[in-house]
Amino acid sequence: MKTTRLFRNSLFGLIGLIFSSALWAHGGAAGTDTDQCKFELEKDHWIHYTAYQPKAYPAEEFCGNIPDTDSLIQLVFDYQDQRYRNMAIEFEVTKEPEGTRVFYQEPQKHKSGTVILNLDKGVPEPGKYLIHITLLQDNGERLDAHMSFKAGGGQPTSTGSIGLYALVVFAGLYIFYLSNAGFKRKVDGLIGKAKEF
């Protein structure tokens, strides 16, 4: 009974750690003041940015470092201010320092507040790239923002993914522990010996 309780408490603790790190991945639920994947359009007015490579890394989110160059890159932008949804927004991605254009989207309005750009073939080569965002106001004014990223440097699995894999392995072992009497006896014996120390 104590062993079952120990495993159950360990499982709940592990789940708590995983979800707490996931909540803080983009600055936490409390706000965006520590969020590295955002950039300022005007004072205190932000756009949140996340990059994905759904074919190569289906469960990963990226910000400043994108691992592959030759796989689909999705750039997702979320406005955090309602007033930007009525403005046309223009996107361009350039290879730096040359300034060579690798992607361009003409100005469009995005009423949902979310824009998804697909760089279908990725980017031409490893290196630094710059995202240029221009919001066009009705009075002709332009708001410009820029954010850079590096592509092609590779990236290890994030700690959130490692935690998720560990949870799956732990849950599998726990189920095996509960369903296999021989394994349960061995584990209980090891725990009993550990308690003696």
**What's at 93, amino acid-wise?**
V
* pLDDT given for residue 115 in this prediction: 92
State the pLDDT confidence band at 29, using cuts at 50, 70 and 90: very low
List the structure tokens of 128.
């630094």
DSSP percent split of the chain into helix, strand, coil, nearest 5: 30, 40, 30
List the structure tokens of 109.
């309005």
Distance (Å, rounded) from C-alpha 167 to C-alpha 24? Answer: 18
Distance (Å, rounded) from C-alpha 81 to C-alpha 93? Answer: 23
pLDDT, tens digit, 9 for 90 and up, residues 50-81:
999 999 888 899 988 999 998 899 999 988 78
Percent share of the chain, pLDDT over 70: 75
Would you list the domain boundaries of the chain?
Answer: 2-20+159-196, 37-151
Exposure letters 126-140 (e unless 16+ CB within 10 A, then b): eeebebbbbbeeeee
* pLDDT given for residue 170 in this prediction: 75
* pLDDT given for residue 140 in this prediction: 82
CATH classification for the domain delimited by 37-151, as one of 1.20.140.150, 3.40.50.1000, 2.60.40.2550, 3.40.50.300: 2.60.40.2550
Rounded to the nearest angstrom, the gap between the alpha carbon of residue 156 and the centroid of all alpha carbons in its chain is: 13
